[in-house]
Chain A
Amino acid sequence: MTLRFTFDGHEISCDAGASIAAALTAAGHRAFRETDRQARRGIFCGMGVCQDCLVTIDGRPNQRACMTEAREGLTVQTQVARPPLSPPQPRTLTPRRLTPDVLVVGGGAGGLSAAIEAKKAGADVVLLDERKVPGGQYYKQDADPKRPPLDAQQTEGGALVAAARQAGVQILPQTEVWGAFDGPEIMATGPEEVYAIAPEKLIVATGAYERPAMIPGWTLPGVMTVGAAQTLWRSYRTLPGKRVALFGNGPLVAQVALELAEGGADVVTLAEAAPPAWHRLPAALDMSRRDPALSRKGLNMLAKLRRRGIRPVHHALPDRIRQTDAGLEVTYTAAGRSGTVVADAVCLNYGFQPQNEILRLLGTDMTFDSRFDHLRVTRTGTCETTTPGVYAVGDCCGLGGAPAAMVEGRIAGRAAVGAAPVPADTAELARHRAFQTALWRVYAATLPHPESAAPETHICRCEEVTKADLDAALAEDPTDIGALKRATRVGMGRCQGRYCGPAVAGIMARRSGRPLEDLSFFAPRVPVKPVDIAAITAAEALLEGEGD
């Protein structure tokens, strides 16, 4: 079914189920909003965290195009930096208080598995997911359930979602968490409701988001994460552009290059920061020993890319991106030689950052993992955190991959409801973790520190804070990351420091010579994501009768 809406007066038509971002991309629109300094922005993360794809929809400003479904007759407009202070159409949300035995936050591999096991053990289980169809970043499901799955990965994900539904897990889709308080108590907004959820046990399975390359031009419309391009294709069958250049580190980059090529894109560059796998034979062999099937899948993928004439460039890093009349021009360095390539879409992925905001708000202990350059949640063998009643599984605890997340979910789901552990799970988890270790030994690459970024590079996308701004503030010797934030506004924007925070934490730690720790990062703050005032107003009704 086709539906129509307008964007700045232009008629856009798309399939039912498409996100506004996908529909606009298919129609050739890349720039969705204007910043305070008149720069244009478009899709970047494709998963609701970067807040750069904002549009005004039917007069309500600052709506994320990537998370909003297109509907017939919508009036969509470019988001201006400072919308008028006129009240939008009232939004009615029904306040609901839920007290399930188990609340699972996140419907990816880990969250779905946890929910299924807890439910099978007899618990009353609620699962929240931000997307219309759960599945998470690994199992990315099609927004149109009538389209057949693209491949085995999507089929497998579909089966997991179906299993959760069949088991009787109460799935609340399009529901976004914005608050976490001691108890634990979770506040979230769905399409029609606002929830205060106080479960017996909380299982956090919020996954990860992608780490970009901070280079001049990484904020231009058309430059997005590899995952954002993958979502456009896998969930909405929309290519990010005709000519696509991918720059990154790790197996996802090549996988998405192949998916987009099979979808009809012209992959003009596939640039990997690491050397080829055969340069690291012991690690590659270790990897194939740990998981022969997955390793075979990887080799297969490389063979398919070769057959399409796509040869990855290794030891390659992008230097800058410029908008030219011909398209986005990327200058890069590969094995010491520089090159340029022009594309309609440039996709970046240099690893992952855990989405650990809820856990940080709850005061859960974490330690810094220098191998992946991010925080790792301290957990027991059954995935219980140091916060009573709170479990955490999958990549939100530090990178581990979807197969490990799946097993962790099963372990935590059972443990949370007191069901007996399954010994085979422990062995399987150990195998997946060993595979991941070998995988990242194969893909190990030295990535540039933000300190070496060019002066005009945006370190903070939201507040448009450049490397030069940061250097000026660093010259005044700020005492800690909070002082640097107050001096420059770095991290004060809508993404709440998700991109600049890890970069700045690293800069501060290296300056002081101190190791990174939880306190090195911006202090965790409610809301976890920017929250509609209508949701807060509706939620206020839940306070009645609390006597405090």
Chain B
Amino acid sequence: MTETDLLVIGGGITGQSAALFAAQAGARVTIVDAQRNAGSHANAGSLHVQMQSRFLRLNPHLADNLESSLPLYLSAVTAWEALDTRLGGVELTREGGLMLAEDEAQLDFLRQKAERETRKGLDVEILDRDELFSLAPWLGEAIAGAELCRNEGKLNPLVANRKMRGALGSLGVEHVHDRITRIEEGSPPTAEGEGATYSAGAILVAAAWGAEALAKPLGLTIGTPPEPLHMNITEAGDYRIRHLVQHAERPITLKQFRSGQVVIGGGWDANLASAESRAPTIRRQSLLGNVALASRIAPGIAGLRVLRTWAGYNTPVDGKATIGPVRNGSRVFLALPGDAGYTLGPITGQAAAALSLGTDPPIDPAPYSPARWRS
């Protein structure tokens, strides 16, 4: 029986952020992770704030959830900025995000969206063609305008993950490779793994698509099916694309790392992994469609070749974070970002960790209570 103050289930950015927060507050922390297909390890580093058109299109019934979460997105970027400083630089930039429109109807959609986002405190503006091209001269001819969200940015997740691991190590956070199969809400709560049973002052579930199976026996019915998403990366070019780029109607994110490589993604689907030991596999439709779309938006990238594709799991849940104890007074806590897990991971993890320690969380957790999942 391993004993610790806080047992974090899941070693992605959410669990790591929770662990970092708790360890800095003096807690003894253990992260237990199954080490299979963590979304954070496949992430491409977008810092999303404005409502993603793709999510709205696929999940019109969850639009209110997403809109009501916008303040959390703003806090998430602040949390990432603090983390950037704490970790000694993760190539984070806050040069804003562009959502492109190709016609008047798309611009109208963006105008309405911008109004709703302004009401939630986002720093957004609609740019006409001339204003847009002075900011982003590498854009393709067909682009008619864009919504600029100044809160958005990007970072290099490879650097962030490596430095996060280093920071946790120097705080004495223990990493255990195991798969947790069941959680008991005793006093103290325990987690049963394939290799051992773990007992802790509190247990924090940051297991993304693995959360559903752990929450069910605790009386919470949360659907966390993984969404396998496709990504592409090119050779390096001169650093010109400063914004995080999306489209009002087509699924795409496009950005350039400081290394010069262009990362193209944005929600094209991949195949679920065929076996636990394997990664999700890619679909040729996604490779062709996603990259062709990117080269129409940014013709300058056509001189770079695509080096690699990969796929990783997003866990959209209901488009809204789940943060807090599984029931009032429970020592088992949930930390699920609910879409855009890498952007929301730090704030979600920190808030859940604060609740588990009994300290004030950095955001009001009430809207994100797990109570909505109690059947």
Contacts and interface: CB of A to CB of B under 8 A. Distances in A.
A36 B235 CA distance: 12
A519 B277 contact: yes
A476 interface: yes
For this complex, into which size category does the number of interface residues on chain B fall?
35 or more
A532 B288 contact: no
A487 B158 CA distance: 7
Interface residues of A, number: 48
B279 A523 contact: yes
Contact of B292 (A483, A531, A537): A537
B362 interface: no
B119 interface: no
Given A36-B236, A531-B306, A87 B300 contact: yes
B238 A185 contact: no
A536 B306 contact: yes
A9 interface: no
A235 B198 CA distance: 65
Given A185-B284, A486-B162, A525 B41 contact: no
Nearest to B262: A85
The SS class assigned to the A binding surface is loop
A99 to B, nearest CB: 16
Contacts of B57: none
Nearest to A86: B300
Residue in B41, B177, B299 whose Cβ sees the most chain A Cβ within 10 Å = B299
Contacts of B279: 482, 523
A527 interface: yes
Nearest to B300: A85
Contact of A476 (B166, B236, B294, B296): B166
Interface stretch (B88-96, B106-114, B217-225, B307-315): B307-315
Interface string B233-275: 0111111110000000000000000011000000000000010
B367 to A, nearest CB: 34
A494 B169 contact: no
A480 B37 CA distance: 12
B289 A543 contact: yes
A151 interface: no
B2 interface: no
Contact of B304 (A61, A179, A519, A540): A61
A486 B237 contact: no
Contacts of B166: 476
A540 B289 contact: yes
27 contacts: A61-B304, A82-B237, A82-B238, A82-B239, A83-B238, A84-B300, A85-B138, A85-B240, A88-B303, A476-B166, A476-B169, A486-B161, A486-B162, A494-B305, A496-B308, A523-B310, A525-B282, A527-B307, A530-B235, A530-B305, A530-B307, A531-B306, A537-B295, A537-B296, A539-B288, A540-B289, A543-B289
Interface of A: 36, 60-62, 81-88, 90, 179, 181, 185, 187, 363, 476, 479-480, 482-483, 486-487, 489, 492-494, 496, 519, 523, 525-527, 530-534, 536-537, 539-540, 542-543, 546, 548
